[in-house]
Structure 1
């Protein structure tokens, strides 16, 4: 994950609208897009996973600071899960049950603390609204059928995230595909979004971006050409740019700095 602070781009806002619709309608949603466009970052941010992940993984004695995590998880009531490569359906079922129970316990604790619920219940599933599965191409046909069956039994909304083409793959499973209510394409950053992101990257390096300045305009054009609006490539490029500027004691971002940073990266087809 990028060390930079999360940036709410237009693509992220569109994802939030999509995810809210899936959660509200209690349906299945498919989100697809090229690698590095920000799908995973948006999904994790939506589920408040950066805030909650450590607590959910290191399950142990409670602390007063955990109340903030409970409140965050209660906001969207969403589980975020990434299956491992070649994971069996049994392992996926166990992982989801384990993770869902922990998230539901946190939500229930928030509701008890706020007075919305009087006492704990054994029906923890009722606190969950949605499950988001990243890298969903890793799900084999049996796992997909298991997720469809889980959706039918629990009425918990489901979002499957993956690369372009996954929607065609899932269309070969009519029982699953017939339940898909929304499909969303997560696109690379448009020109105005890229400038919005770059303004914050410039600021992180202690500079101000001026689109009217010829040097800055050249640098922006070089970055746009190299990254094609790919969020992950922007991060990787700026990491190298920062290193090059430090080594060479430079204080200005130029297209030469951008090109030098580009030469250190292995950039595939996006």
Structure 2
């Protein structure tokens, strides 16, 4: 299409009216991330807390987009770091996301960065030693490793050492691919046998979430009856049971 043709089309259709200020404000509100506490998140937090107190390791497994990351991150935020004058911070729960093809150096680097310590240069042994000292000094009781299937096979031994030598509960988070990876190594699998599956929503959980989302996120002036049997069926088919809705702004639940 030439410029003249485009100008002709634009002239024929006319100018696009500016969005009403009130409507624009509502669009911006709906575009903000909204969080709804799910029962399955509370169950996850209870499971994680049990592991932290018992210093036991395990894994959290589920499909992508089911809310594993949000749930684990929220649990970490419930354990706020404490800082005493002249003392290193006390971080009872540390949560990290690791990069692709994560080796030992990358793993230790992410841990140090999360705990606000400078990543020093040196051999793997030197960086490992510094990481262990920092984990111990910060009083870390649980280390949550998200996207754990990105760990290189040999790096799983480093994760096992954090659990074995420091008595820190290590939680691996990932998809079913994580299960396939760790089951190849009996020693790794034995340390992370305890598993919490974070699944998609269905039944009453789905209905309750839709009801909360309609009332607290959409905040429509007139009820839309999204939680009616017919609408729930439509929403269930559209979302496939994943705890997020993207029709009117994304609501990360």
Could you say whether these structures have the same fold, taking a TM-score greater than 0.5 normalized by the shorter chain as the test? yes
Task: Tell me, yes or no, if the aligned pair for 2:112 and 2:134 is still in contact at 8 Å.
Answer: no
Match of 2:149 among 129, 133, 137: 137
How many residues are matched? 200
Is 1:196 the counterpart of 2:225 in the alignment? no
Match of 1:30 among 53, 56, 59: 59
Select between 43-52 and 19-28 the one with higher mean Cα deviation.
43-52
Match of 2:96 among 69, 81, 87: 81
Alpha-carbon distance, 1:224 to partner: 0.9
Alpha-carbon distance, 1:227 to partner: 1.2
Task: Tell me, yes or no, if the aligned pair for 1:135 and 1:162 is still in contact at 8 Å.
Answer: yes
Question: In structure 2, do the counterparts of structure 1 residues 180 and 218 end up closer, same or farther at CA, with 3 Å as the change threshold?
Answer: same
Question: Aligned to 2:58, what secondary structure does the other structure show?
Answer: strand
Question: In structure 2, do the counterparts of structure 1 residues 189 and 11 end up closer, same or farther at CA, with 3 Å as the change threshold?
Answer: same
Task: Tell me, yes or no, if the aligned pair for 2:59 and 2:172 is still in contact at 8 Å.
Answer: yes
Question: Aligned to 2:64, what secondary structure does the other structure show?
Answer: coil
Question: In structure 2, do the counterparts of structure 1 residues 148 and 208 end up closer, same or farther at CA, with 3 Å as the change threshold?
Answer: farther
Asked which structure has the greater RCO (Cα within 8 Å, sep 6+), the reply is 2
Is 1:146 the counterpart of 2:162 in the alignment? no
Which of these two proteins has the greater Rg computed from alpha carbons?
Answer: 2
Match of 1:205 among 212, 218, 233: 218
Is 1:9 the counterpart of 2:38 in the alignment? yes
Aligned to 1:110: none
Task: Tell me, yes or no, if the aligned pair for 2:211 and 2:227 is still in contact at 8 Å.
Answer: no
TM-score (norm 2): 0.68
The 5-angstrom pairing of residues 108-187 of structure 1 reads: 124-125=136-137, 127-180=139-192, 182-187=194-199
Question: In structure 2, do the counterparts of structure 1 residues 214 and 236 end up closer, same or farther at CA, with 3 Å as the change threshold?
Answer: closer
Please state which structure has a larger fraction of its residues in helix: 1
Question: In structure 2, do the counterparts of structure 1 residues 135 and 15 end up closer, same or farther at CA, with 3 Å as the change threshold?
Answer: same
Task: Tell me, yes or no, if the aligned pair for 1:130 and 1:156 is still in contact at 8 Å.
Answer: yes
Alpha-carbon distance, 1:169 to partner: 2.1
Aligned to 1:245: none
The 5-angstrom pairing of residues 85-96 of structure 1 reads: 85-96=100-111
Give a deviation string over 1:192-229, Cα, whole Å, max 9, x none. Answer: 12222212321222227979x59954332211111121
Question: Aligned to 1:48, what secondary structure does the other structure show?
Answer: helix
Alpha-carbon distance, 1:137 to partner: 0.8
- Contiguous gaps of at least 5 residues in structure 2: 1-30, 84-88, 118-132
Aligned to 2:123: none
Question: In structure 2, do the counterparts of structure 1 residues 228 and 122 end up closer, same or farther at CA, with 3 Å as the change threshold?
Answer: closer
- Contiguous gaps of at least 5 residues in structure 1: 53-65, 68-72, 103-120, 242-270
TM-score (norm 1): 0.64
Alpha-carbon distance, 1:181 to partner: 5.1
Alpha-carbon distance, 1:40 to partner: 0.5
